[in-house]
Structure 1
Amino acid sequence: MTVIYWVRHGPTHEKTFVGHRDVPADLSDTAQIARLSAALPANALVVSSDLARSIDTATALQGTRRRLPHRIGLREFDFGDWDGLHFGEVAEKWPDLSRAYWENPGDVAPPNGESWNAAAARVTADITQVAAENPRRDIIAVAHFGAILTQVAQAAGIAPYRALSHRIDNYSVTEIQMRPTWGVARINHVL
C-alpha cells in the first residue's frame, strides 16, 4: 500500500492570493515542527513542491528521512493576475469571475492562471509518478492548500466545490491512501 501524508507548508502570513509567487514560510514554531515530524512515519520518503515555503518546511521535517527532488507539479494553483492581490480586490475587479471560481470550480480560471481541473490534473499526475517510482513506500508530500484539496477530491470522489469546504491548516496532515485504491484516512489533522 502507498500512503501519501500531505503536509501543508508553514505559514506565510500573507493576506493575499499566493500561488506560484515564491514567498517564505515562517518556521519559527520549532515545537510544532518537532511534534509533526515525530508523528510522521520515520521511514517515509519526503518530497515537496519547488516553492521555498514547501522546500523549507520539508527540510525542517526531514530528519533522517530520504529526500526526493522538489517537484514543480506539486505547486499551488497558478492564480495568474490574482497572485499578490487581496481577495476583496479580486472580487471588486472581477466580480462574476471570482464568484464563479469559488462557486463552480472546475474549468473556471483566473486571467492568465489555471483552473481547478488543470491544477488537479497536474498534481495528480505528479504524485502518481512519485508513487510509481517508489512502490510500496510511504511518502510525505509537503505542498499547498489547493494542491492538497485536489487530492482530497480525487481520493474521496467528491466535487471540487465540496472539497473546498475542508480546512487545510498550516502544518496539518491529510492522509491519503493511493494504492491499491484511492481513499482518505484523515483530513487536516493538526498535532
Structure 2
Amino acid sequence: MTVIHWVRHGPTHARSFVGHRDIPADLSDTALIARLDAALPADALVVSSDLRRAIDTASALQGQRTRLPHRPGLREFDFGDWDGLHHHEVSTRWPDLSRAYWETPGDIAPPNGESWNTAAARIAADITALIDAHPNRDIIAVAHFGAILSQVQWAAGITPYRALAHRIDNFSITEIQMRPTPGVARINHLP
C-alpha cells in the first residue's frame, strides 16, 4: 500500500497571501524538526514542491531517505493578484469575490489565479504520477496548506468547503493511505 505523509513546510511568518511567491521557511526550531523527522518512516521517499519553503523543509527531513526531484505540480494555490496582499486588503478590494472564494470554493478564482478545482486537479495529477512511479512506498510530500487540503478533500470524499474547516499547521503530518480506495488516516498531526 502506498502511504502519502503530507508535511506542511515550516512557517514563513508572512501576514499576507503566499501562493507561488518563493519565500523561505523558518527552520530554526531544530527540536521540532527532529521530532517530525522521528515521526516519519525512515525508509520513505522524500519529495517537495519547487518552492523554497518546501524544498528547505524537505531537505531538513531528508537524512538517509531518498530525495526525489522537486515537483512544480505540488505548489500552493496560485493566488494571482492577491499574492502578497493582506487578507483584509483582499476583502476590501474584492469583497464579493473574496467571500465567494472561501464560502463556495470550486470554480471561483482570484484575478489571474487558480480556482480550488484547477489547483486540486493539478496537485492530484502530480501526486498520482508520483504514486504510479513508486507503487507501494511511503512517500513524504512536503507541500503547502492548500495542496494538502485538496488531497484531504479528495481522499475523504468531502466538499472543498468542508476541507477548508481543517487546520493544517506548519510541520504537521496529514496521512493519506492509498488502499483500493484512498482514505485519510490522520489530519494535522503534530509531533
Aligned to 2:59: 59
| Secondary structure of the structure 1 residue equivalent to 2:66 | coil
Find out whether 1:145 has 2:145 as its counterpart. Answer: yes
Superposed CA deviations along residues 58-84 of structure 1, whole A, max 9, x for unmatched, are 000011000000000000000000000
Give 1:182's aligned residue: 182
Q: 2: distance between equivalents of 1:135 and 1:93?
A: 46
Cα distance in 2 for residues equivalent to 1:39 and 1:96: 42
Instruction: Name the TM-score, length of structure 2 as normaliser.
Output: 0.99
Indicate the residue corresponding to 2:91 in structure 1: 91
Cα deviation for residue 20 of structure 1 reads 0.1
Deviation for aligned residue 1:178 = 2.1
* Residues 6-34 of structure 1: per-residue CA shift (max 9 Å, x gap): 00000000000000000000000000000
Secondary structure, counterpart of 2:185 in structure 1: strand
Q: Which amino acid aligns with 2:13?
A: H
CA contact (8 A) 1:2 1:180 kept: no
- SS for the counterpart of 1:174 is strand
For residues 106-159 of structure 1, the C-alpha deviation after alignment (integer angstroms, 9 at most, x for no partner) is 000000000000000000000010010001111000000000000000000000
Query: What is the one-letter code of the residue matched to 1:26?
Result: D
Structure 2: 5+ residue stretches without partners: none
Task: Output aligned runs, 1:105-184, within 5 Å.
Answer: 105-184=105-184
Q: For residues 115 and 171 of structure 1, what CA distance do their matches in structure 2 show?
A: 25
Q: Does 1:103 align with 2:87?
A: no
What is the Cα-based RMSD across aligned positions, in Å? 0.5
Q: Which residue of 1 aligns with 2:21?
A: 21
TM-score, scaled relative to structure 1 = 0.99
CA distance in 2, matches of 1:136, 1:178: 9
**Distance in 1, Cα, partners of 2:178 & 2:63:** 24
Runs of 4+ in structure 1 off by over 4 angstroms are none
* Identity percentage of aligned residues: 79
Task: Report if the CA contact (8 A) 1:33-1:61 is conserved.
Answer: yes
Instruction: Give, in angstroms, the shift of residue 181 of structure 1.
Output: 1.6
Aligned length: 191
Give the match for residue 74 of structure 2: 74
**Secondary structure class of the residue paired with 1:85:** coil
Alpha-carbon distance, 1:180 to partner: 2.8
User: What letter corresponds to residue 119 of structure 2 in structure 1?
Assistant: A
Number of the residue aligned with 1:50:
50
